[in-house]
Amino acid sequence: MLKTLSVAIAATFVAGAAFACPNIGQTGATINASATQLYSPHNYNVTAGGSSDLSYCNIRTYNNVTPVGWVATAPDFELNYRKDANYSLEIRVVSDCDSVLLINDGEGDWFYDDDGNSNSAGDPALRINNPAAGLYDIWIGTYGPGTCSAQLQLETF
């Protein structure tokens, strides 16, 4: 009986954790931008972090990395990207803490980075070569629990 109860409690905990994962069906602040508009960097202030622990979310990125960190359930931003030039798209974060970056593109691919921003130690950056036009859901999180001030930076090259 105790074993059955323990299994039921564990199953409830896992189901509850999965419920709090990033949800591409929810909306964030909308950014409409084209490749040529982003040739000059655009910056957006945000509070990094949230209550969703990515280690429980079973998200696999395009390069089979398991994301780690804490994000909100809804994306912080939704980038409607128009490809009017053949530029690479760079999505960076500058923050007051160790931040993480999680992206879901319009084709359903997940991207994640923790410390790839060479201009800002402990901050993430992703460069997407030949990015598809469409919707990019963007989460700005923290490596550990808690929140901090951050800035999303979008630029094309």
Higher pLDDT, 14 or 66: 66
Q: Is the pLDDT of residue 2 over 80?
A: no
Q: Is the pLDDT of residue 45 over 80?
A: yes
Q: What is the DSSP string of the chain?
A: -HHHHHHHHHHHHHHHHHHTS--TTS--EEEEEETTGGGS-EEEEEEE--SEEGGGS----TT-----SEE-SS-SEEEEEE-SS---EEEEEEESS-EEEEEE-TTS-EEEESS--TTSTT--EEEESSPPSEEEEEEEEESSSS-EEEEEEEEE-
Q: What is the pTM of this model?
A: 0.87
Output the domain CATH number for residue 17. 2.60.120.380
- Predicted local confidence at residue 106, as pLDDT: 83
Mean pLDDT (whole number) for 94-121: 93
Domain count, the chain: 1
Domain of 8, in residue numbers: 2-156
